[in-house]
């Protein structure tokens, strides 16, 4: 590197403690395994360690009998030098429905107090109204606010619309912007255009978050590095690739001695990696080999990898696997009818289930419509990227009124009421526990009473059948109704 080439440092967010294990071992990493790893990670010099939020909160309570707040405090103690980053689903927080503003405010405040430094906030529909309250509160509590754009491909999404969203996020006070490519669909050329475009328009750090599901992510990361991306999300190699992120070590090595050096030492990474190898051994039975390989169907159908296997298992249950190609053809039509939502939790499930219904019932489409699709058309999830046609709207909800305001404006404050409930039931002793109860009213009581048990880590050889070894689906209660969710 000559003196004429100043370093324009590339920053790394390591996702090993959150997205990587969520993607490869169904979010099952225990706190006891996280802490020694976190202590090693702390020495690397990462921009941040993504370590909380997403599906980790739910999994702690549902499967691991761990207190997610306690985990956060312990992680904070293990990561004194490295900012802790969380993934926050906007008004959905770490749940699957909109929470009232008072709950959002308290949740963000408690997250910051217990250890979160950087909040990555997204909304499945890119409806900033669903992100605004939590974003404002991140600023109020002094956190680093990273606004995320849910990346997708459609006739109404393109570089210009994403740049426009980046401008809105910038105006909303974001400290950085993340391009969140949950399905691994972003191509190298689109990456370059989008990063260059955002950086030309707003003066802000840009992060790229992708998944290697389709095998494209490492190529797009290279394009991003050249286009001047500021931060890349990577995972330590034993938990990298497949449905997870590209490997940390490779991205670090690839930039050594160039203008985009990370300043991270490969021998330090080797120690972290060796620790990860041991952890991987322990959890090996949870790794579905399929999730580690390139899924090139993603390139053709543009569906997140998890959604494809979910459709397969839905059809298998109905003994209708021969209709898979019909469903693949129906999914983009349903998505079009619903105004091209990005396919991410919960929209991937909403679109997928309806496509299966449309195909299996035959005859007229939308003869039978799920409650979620009705709510979606009613506007209860927010504003769809493209308007829904009058014809489809009538087909689905008849002459019912559509909500055009911010969905959470319909919600009464709930914290105080739930606090009273929890107190009466002898459940909650802390504000954090009340928040846990509000997030998951169905399972939190048994957790808070200490009646739940941690599931065992399977020690057998991995079984090929996805549905049995990787609990990719879970039932959650939404407004009293059981909702089939696939975490992707």
**Residue whose C-beta lies closest to Co ion:** 19
Site string for its own copies, 169-188 (x = CB under 8 A): ------------------xx
Q: Is residue 250 near its own copies by the rule CB under 8 A?
A: yes
Nearest to 233 by CA among 285, 271, 180, 282: 180
Nearest to 13 by CA among 176, 190, 232: 232
DSSP 284: G
Binder of its own copies out of 52, 107, 221, 419 (CB under 8 A):
221
Which of its own copies, Co ion, none sits in contact with 4, Cβ below 5 to 8 A by type?
none
Query: For residues 141 and 86, is the Cβ–Cβ distance under 8 A?
Result: no
Cα–Cα dist 300/289, whole Å: 21
Residue with tokens 């983009």: 332
Shortest distance in whole angstroms from residue 477 CB to Co ion: 25
Binding site for Co ion (CB under 5 A): 19
CA distances to 37, 134, 156, 195, 440 from 104, in Å? 30, 6, 30, 30, 14
Shortest distance in whole angstroms from residue 256 CB to its own copies: 8
Binder of its own copies out of 83, 115, 247, 379 (CB under 8 A):
247
Which of its own copies, Co ion, none sits in contact with 241, Cβ below 5 to 8 A by type?
its own copies
Q: Is residue 267 near its own copies by the rule CB under 8 A?
A: yes
Cα–Cα dist 89/122, whole Å: 5
Select 19 or 33, whichever has its Cβ closest to Co ion. Answer: 19
Cα–Cα dist 163/148, whole Å: 12
Residue with tokens 């990787």: 470
Instruction: Name the region of 54 (left: φ>0; alpha: ψ -120 to 50; beta: rest).
Output: left
Size of residue set near its own copies by CB under 8 A? 43
Nearest to 447 by CA among 63, 53, 31, 28: 63
CA 353, 385, 194: angle at the middle one, nearest 5? 115
Select 238 or 246, whichever has its Cβ closest to Co ion. Answer: 246
Residue range at the interface with its own copies (CB under 8 A); choices 11-19, 37-45, 248-256, 441-449: 248-256
Q: Is residue 342 near its own copies by the rule CB under 8 A?
A: no
Which of Co ion, its own copies, none sits in contact with 122, Cβ below 5 to 8 A by type?
none
CA distances to 8, 195, 198, 209 from 201, in Å? 19, 10, 5, 20
Residue range at the interface with its own copies (CB under 8 A); choices 102-110, 216-224, 382-390, 435-443: 216-224
Select 19 or 74, whichever has its Cβ closest to Co ion. Answer: 19
Which of Co ion, its own copies, none sits in contact with 102, Cβ below 5 to 8 A by type?
none
How many other CB atoms sit within 10 Å of the CB of residue 404? 7
Which of Co ion, its own copies, none sits in contact with 19, Cβ below 5 to 8 A by type?
Co ion
Binder of its own copies out of 153, 202, 285, 299 (CB under 8 A):
299
How many other CB atoms sit within 10 Å of the CB of residue 1? 11
Q: Is residue 189 near its own copies by the rule CB under 8 A?
A: yes
Shortest distance in whole angstroms from residue 233 CB to Co ion: 7
Select 289 or 362, whichever has its Cβ closest to its own copies. Answer: 289
Which of Co ion, its own copies, none sits in contact with 267, Cβ below 5 to 8 A by type?
its own copies
Q: Which helix (H) or strand (E) holds 278?
A: helix 266-282
Cα–Cα dist 349/222, whole Å: 32
Site string for its own copies, 441-470 (x = CB under 8 A): --------------------x---------
Cα–Cα dist 16/68, whole Å: 17
Query: For residues 183 and 343, is the Cβ–Cβ distance under 8 A?
Result: yes
Q: Scanning residues 66 to 95, which ones bind its own copies (CB under 8 A)?
A: none
Which of its own copies, Co ion, none sits in contact with 257, Cβ below 5 to 8 A by type?
its own copies
Cα–Cα dist 49/27, whole Å: 16
Which of its own copies, Co ion, none sits in contact with 268, Cβ below 5 to 8 A by type?
none
Query: For residues 21 and 239, is the Cβ–Cβ distance under 8 A?
Result: yes
Binder of its own copies out of 65, 159, 161, 254 (CB under 8 A):
254
CA 150, 154, 157: angle at the middle one, nearest 5? 55
Q: Is residue 196 near its own copies by the rule CB under 8 A?
A: no
CA distances to 14, 17, 118, 275, 323 from 85, in Å? 10, 10, 4, 21, 42
Residue with tokens 């993340």: 178
Residue with tokens 């910038």: 170
Q: Is residue 312 near its own copies by the rule CB under 8 A?
A: no
Binder of its own copies out of 270, 278, 417, 465 (CB under 8 A):
270
Q: Is residue 300 near its own copies by the rule CB under 8 A?
A: yes
Shortest distance in whole angstroms from residue 215 CB to its own copies: 3
Shortest distance in whole angstroms from residue 353 CB to its own copies: 25
Shortest distance in whole angstroms from residue 248 CB to its own copies: 8
What is the per-residue DSSP string for 68-104? HHHHHHHHHHH-SSS-EEEEE-GGGTTSSS---HHHH
Q: Is residue 246 near its own copies by the rule CB under 8 A?
A: yes
Q: Is residue 223 near its own copies by the rule CB under 8 A?
A: yes
| Interface residue list for its own copies (CB under 8 A) | 187-189, 214-216, 218-223, 225-226, 237-238, 240-241, 246-247, 249-251, 253-254, 256-258, 266-267, 269-270, 273, 289, 292-297, 299-300, 461
């Amino acid at each position: 590197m000559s003196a004429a080439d100043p370093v324009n440092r590339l920053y790394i967010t390591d996702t090993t403690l959150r997205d990587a294990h969520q993607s490869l071992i169904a979010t099952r990493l225990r706190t006891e395994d996280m802490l020694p790893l976190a202590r090693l990670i702390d020495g690397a010099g990462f921009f941040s360690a993504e370590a909380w939020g997403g599906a980790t909160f739910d999994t702690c309570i549902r499967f691991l009998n761990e207190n997610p707040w306690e985990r956060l405090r312990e992680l904070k103690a293990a990561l004194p030098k490295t900012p802790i980053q969380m993934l926050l689903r906007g008004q959905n927080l770490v749940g699957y429905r909109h929470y009232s503003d008072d709950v959002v405010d308290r949740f963000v405040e408690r997250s910051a107090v217990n250890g979160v430094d950087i909040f990555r906030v997204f909304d499945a529909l890119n409806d900033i109204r669903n992100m605004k309250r939590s974003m404002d509160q991140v600023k109020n509590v002094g956190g680093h606010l990273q606004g995320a754009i849910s990346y997708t491909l459609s006739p109404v999404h393109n570089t210009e619309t994403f740049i426009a969203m980046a401008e809105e996020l910038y105006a909303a006070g974001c400290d950085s912007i993340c391009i969140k490519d949950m399905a691994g669909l972003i191509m190298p050329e689109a990456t370059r255009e989008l990063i260059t475009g955002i950086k030309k328009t707003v003066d802000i750090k840009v992060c790229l978050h992708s998944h290697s599901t389709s095998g494209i992510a490492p190529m797009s990361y290279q394009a991003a590095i050249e286009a001047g991306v500021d931060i890349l999300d990577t995972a330590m190699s034993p938990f990298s690739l497949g449905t997870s992120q590209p490997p940390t070590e490779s991205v670090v090595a690839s930039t050594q001695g160039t203008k985009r050096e990370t300043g991270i030492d490969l021998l330090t990474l080797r120690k972290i990696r060796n620790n990860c190898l041991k952890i991987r051994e322990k959890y090996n039975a949870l790794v579905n080999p399929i999730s580690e390989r390139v899924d090139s169907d993603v390139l053709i159908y543009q569906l997140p990898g998890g959604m494809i296997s979910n459709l397969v298992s839905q059809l298998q249950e109905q003994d209708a696997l021969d209709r898979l190609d019909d469903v693949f053809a129906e999914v983009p039509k349903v998505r079009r009818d619903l105004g091209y939502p990005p396919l991410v939790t919960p929209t991937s499930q909403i679109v997928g289930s309806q496509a299966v219904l449309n195909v299996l019932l035959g005859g007229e489409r939308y003869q039978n419509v799920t409650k979620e699709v009705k709510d979606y058309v009613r506007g209860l999830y927010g504003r769809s990227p493209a308007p829904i046609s009058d014809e489809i709207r009538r087909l689905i909800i008849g002459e019912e009124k559509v909500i055009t305001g911010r969905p959470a404006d319909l919600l009464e404050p709930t914290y105080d009421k739930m606090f009273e409930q929890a107190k009466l039931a002898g459940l909650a002793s802390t504000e954090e526990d009340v928040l846990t109860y509000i997030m998951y009213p169905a399972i939190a009581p048994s957790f808070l009473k200490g009646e739940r048990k941690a599931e065992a880590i399977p020690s057998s050889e991995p079984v090929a059948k996805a549905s049995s070894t990787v609990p990719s689906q879970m039932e959650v209660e939404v407004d009293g109704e059981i909702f089939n969710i696939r975490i992707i």
